[in-house]
A and B are shown apart, each in its own frame.
Chain A
């Protein structure tokens, strides 16, 4: 029997707020253990949660960025469970009235077709403390770090629209791009700012059955999500073939062994409304204010790049997938650089150079203005491409203008025929065989001659002029 999978995802995204969700402690989980704590996030008796406006704004913009509909009324509940990472005994989460409903992301699936993957809802919740398991000699001990306790999270719950691991991975990549775009989170699975649980069930292909699902946790990269889902589909299919019943439970992905293993589940019950956190009421005006803060989303931006700047779909998608890259590109266009030149030099030269130096585009000393002035010299034939690449290196180490660097270090392109004449004669004398090949109509040989002249000119000659002069000289000698 052929089986197909029905997959839904639950994605926790940690918002990059300056403070925690219910107190003023810094939201920096990576600091030394337990430095960012107060009576509220340590859940001392008598402490009161004070809901952060920033968390509400960042969460709301995230929802709008995923086309979800913000609800006029949402509220926090107490999700009860006992575990040392939650000494309060309950987690504040929006179980009954979530912040937003609906929404979705379009992806291109394996068949090259556009597929809409819908969201069920998005709700806010506080993160719990982090448990660190260590050995003290031969005694296993567990330590609790409360830096993360109370960090603001949103949980994005999808509809069970996914059928393949590929769709899940494409969805997560697109989700990550869009959330980064709106600036609410870094969404890194490797750093734990995005955590994904997958609910997977299988059914005979072509039926509408909804069978018992299994939840899989503990994947820390998008690739692992794909691998874990693929493994779970084949595991469940084998169970079905063998006539075993699938029972509702949770499994952990083991990235080393590349398989899922059953885990003990936490005891969880229905949630009770929390009377201390006020109900959140969003007015249409406020929602519109948030919407006005929304940047142009990647899909819309890519489409515009194709139309306005004549880029290919692939180029436009690449440029618009990272908001910083897109902003940089548009700044170059604003400085009068031709779109193709800007695109090409940004993708092939600047981005790799910035990465090599472990910088970001926004923090690198090569600002759009400086990079544009370099590219302008290139397009006006003041320097050649070789020189431009070398000047770029200097731009990282000095704050002088590209023009000054070019002049001071003699990178100007030599375009004066008189200066090149002597060099060309020398090369022609030294390479009689190649000259013969050119005359025999071999174009490659011409390239070799140009290269030799360029080498003699210390890389600074204008290749167009060299070619013109060579063509002229070779025809004269004939």
Chain B
């Protein structure tokens, strides 16, 4: 298990009361648990032990869940290189995994683990105590074999937090079980993402759309001509935010602080140089380039982001949910190249740009396809999960 876990909670805890009693949850070391090493996968935070519990940890424990440890993660959760997300589920070491989702990591990890993966609406779950990289895009994703777990955990961790003022003042979805009438539910499928798939993958995706049809949902073909811009916008806006926010990871208090330098400017340069891995460094360089050398491109990307958000809202005024293919790209995981990483997440990154909830459902066991993603409007999280649960029930032979 050491190959999966970065840190294991070896406490023997008597089961606590609460509706999550006995649920074993693996987190990642970007989520603060007081006293636990919390290095977020980066040398820049070497030896950093969290001082306070993250709000989600405090809420999970209060509900009786057992936080069993943290799994190895990619540097600041960016991409899946070096990540063991999904492995704890696969090896049955946990019932649920919390995985930082910056560009689709929780959904792709779920694909590898043949489990369900959910990225909640942006602003639904407190970020207090979470270490991240791209504040306007990232949130805590959830992986589990069943959606009931995900639903109940969200019920526990979602909603206002007096320690996180960034949560908008909105009505929190009710995560109790709800009825779905497929005949009254329209699911749109957008043609553009399919154009980027190879022929056989497109055929595989058609297979998933068929499953929705068979379940009785009404399907509607739609178009989002600028779909390919999601990646580009994420690349520019995300890298600028990362470059600005990662300023705090200066490797002076934690991480490999350079010794014997002439002055503090040199000390900063050398320490930061030694702190970050190749992938993250190229990302931060890219962000710094846009921030300092081509700010206009950043401003344009922000404008395009706003337009994409409007486009998406328009589509979701004509359909209740949208179905998207998922594709783990040509390279399957460990590339340290920025371009490869973005290719890998081309099918998932849209939900991080818009902040909408997205659910990955694995294929019917034994089927050849890759599963698919369902996405809904902001704060439709509970209904989206209900649709997922309905589909999984159908696979098990109906109600």
Interfacial residues, chain A to chain B (CB-CB below 8 A): 39, 43-46, 48-51, 78, 80, 82, 84, 87-90, 142, 269-270, 272, 274-278
A48 and B166 contact, Cβ closer than 8 Å, known pairs A82-B250, A90-B244, A275-B241: yes
In the complex, what residues of A have CB within 8 A of residue B335's CB? none
B contact patch SS: loop
Q: 3 tightest A-B contacts by CB?
A: A89-B247, A275-B136, A275-B135
30 CB-based A-B contacts, threshold 8 Å: A39-B52, A44-B51, A45-B40, A45-B131, A45-B248, A45-B249, A48-B127, A48-B163, A48-B165, A48-B166, A50-B163, A82-B247, A82-B250, A82-B268, A84-B252, A87-B253, A88-B248, A89-B244, A89-B248, A90-B247, A270-B295, A272-B240, A272-B244, A272-B298, A274-B135, A275-B135, A275-B166, A276-B135, A276-B166, A277-B166
Contact A89 B166 (CB under 8 A): no
Contact B250 A269 (CB under 8 A): no
B residues 358-388 near A (Cβ < 8 Å) are none
Contact A46 B291 (CB under 8 A): no
In the complex, what residues of A have CB within 8 A of residue B241's CB? 272, 275
Closest to B292 in A: A269
Contact A276 B248 (CB under 8 A): no
Closest to A272 in B: B244
State whether the Cβ of B83 lies closer than 8 Å to any Cβ in chain A: no
Contact A43 B248 (CB under 8 A): yes
Most-contacted residue by chain B among A51, A272, A276 (CB, 10 A) = A272
Contact B292 A46 (CB under 8 A): no
State whether the Cβ of B129 lies closer than 8 Å to any Cβ in chain A: yes
C-alpha spacing A312/B164, complex, angstroms: 55
Mark contacts of B23-62 with chain A using CB atoms, 8 A cut-off: 1 yes-contact digit, 0 otherwise.
0000000001000001010000100101110100000000
Closest to A90 in B: B247
Contact A277 B165 (CB under 8 A): yes
In the complex, what residues of A have CB within 8 A of residue B50's CB? 46
C-alpha spacing A45/B46, complex, angstroms: 12
Contact B165 A89 (CB under 8 A): no
Mark contacts of B127-140 with chain A using CB atoms, 8 A cut-off: 1 yes-contact digit, 0 otherwise.
11111000110000
Contact of A39 among B51, B246, B291 (CB under 8 A): B51
Contact of A270 among B168, B268, B292 (CB under 8 A): B292
C-alpha spacing A132/B374, complex, angstroms: 56
State whether the Cβ of B278 lies closer than 8 Å to any Cβ in chain A: no
C-alpha spacing A142/B50, complex, angstroms: 27
In the complex, what residues of B have CB within 8 A of residue A50's CB? 163, 165
In the complex, what residues of A have CB within 8 A of residue B249's CB? 45, 89
In the complex, what residues of A have CB within 8 A of residue B128's CB? 46, 48
Contact A278 B247 (CB under 8 A): no
Q: How many residues of B contact A (CB 8 A)?
A: 39
Closest to B134 in A: A275
C-alpha spacing A274/B165, complex, angstroms: 13
Contact A48 B164 (CB under 8 A): yes
Closest to B135 in A: A275
In the complex, what residues of A have CB within 8 A of residue B131's CB? 45-46
CB distance from B70 to the nearest CB of A (A): 13
In the complex, what residues of B have CB within 8 A of residue A90's CB? 244-245, 247-248
In the complex, what residues of B have CB within 8 A of residue A51's CB? 165
In the complex, what residues of B have CB within 8 A of residue A46's CB? 32, 38, 50, 52, 54, 128-131
A45 and B247 contact, Cβ closer than 8 Å, known pairs A39-B51, A51-B165: no
In the complex, what residues of A have CB within 8 A of residue B129's CB? 46
C-alpha spacing A80/B241, complex, angstroms: 11
CB distance from A134 to the nearest CB of B (A): 15
CB distance from B275 to the nearest CB of A (A): 12
In the complex, what residues of A have CB within 8 A of residue B45's CB? 45
In the complex, what residues of B have CB within 8 A of residue A272's CB? 240-241, 244, 291, 298
A89 and B48 contact, Cβ closer than 8 Å, known pairs A46-B130, A272-B240: no
B residues 246-274 near A (Cβ < 8 Å) are 246-250, 252-253, 264-265, 268
Most-contacted residue by chain B among A50, A84, A89 (CB, 10 A) = A89
CB distance from A457 to the nearest CB of B (A): 73
CB distance from A128 to the nearest CB of B (A): 13
In the complex, what residues of B have CB within 8 A of residue A49's CB? 165
In the complex, what residues of A have CB within 8 A of residue B247's CB? 78, 80, 82, 88-90
Closest to A268 in B: B292
In the complex, what residues of B have CB within 8 A of residue A44's CB? 51
Most-contacted residue by chain B among A44, A82, A90 (CB, 10 A) = A44
In the complex, what residues of A have CB within 8 A of residue B165's CB? 48-51, 277-278
A84 and B264 contact, Cβ closer than 8 Å, known pairs A46-B129, A78-B245, A269-B292: yes
Contact A276 B291 (CB under 8 A): no
Mark contacts of B155-172 with chain A using CB atoms, 8 A cut-off: 1 yes-contact digit, 0 otherwise.
000000001111010000
A45 and B38 contact, Cβ closer than 8 Å, known pairs A87-B252, A88-B247, A269-B292: yes
CB distance from B34 to the nearest CB of A (A): 11
In the complex, what residues of B have CB within 8 A of residue A278's CB? 165-166, 168
Closest to A51 in B: B165
CB distance from A458 to the nearest CB of B (A): 70
C-alpha spacing A39/B136, complex, angstroms: 21
Mark contacts of B118-150 with chain A using CB atoms, 8 A cut-off: 1 yes-contact digit, 0 otherwise.
000000000111110001100000000000000
Closest to A42 in B: B253
In the complex, what residues of B have CB within 8 A of residue A45's CB? 32, 38, 40, 45, 48, 131, 248-249
C-alpha spacing A45/B163, complex, angstroms: 14
In the complex, what residues of A have CB within 8 A of residue B250's CB? 82, 87, 89
C-alpha spacing A90/B245, complex, angstroms: 8
| Interface contacts beyond A270-B292, A272-B240: sample of 17 additional A-B pairs, CB < 8 Å, sorted by A | A44-B51, A45-B32, A45-B48, A46-B32, A46-B50, A48-B127, A48-B164, A49-B165, A80-B247, A82-B265, A87-B248, A89-B248, A89-B249, A89-B250, A269-B291, A269-B292, A276-B166
C-alpha spacing A43/B291, complex, angstroms: 22
In the complex, what residues of A have CB within 8 A of residue B292's CB? 269-270
In the complex, what residues of B have CB within 8 A of residue A48's CB? 127-128, 163-166
C-alpha spacing A269/B40, complex, angstroms: 27
In the complex, what residues of A have CB within 8 A of residue B32's CB? 45-46
In the complex, what residues of B have CB within 8 A of residue A275's CB? 135-136, 166, 241
C-alpha spacing A235/B250, complex, angstroms: 40
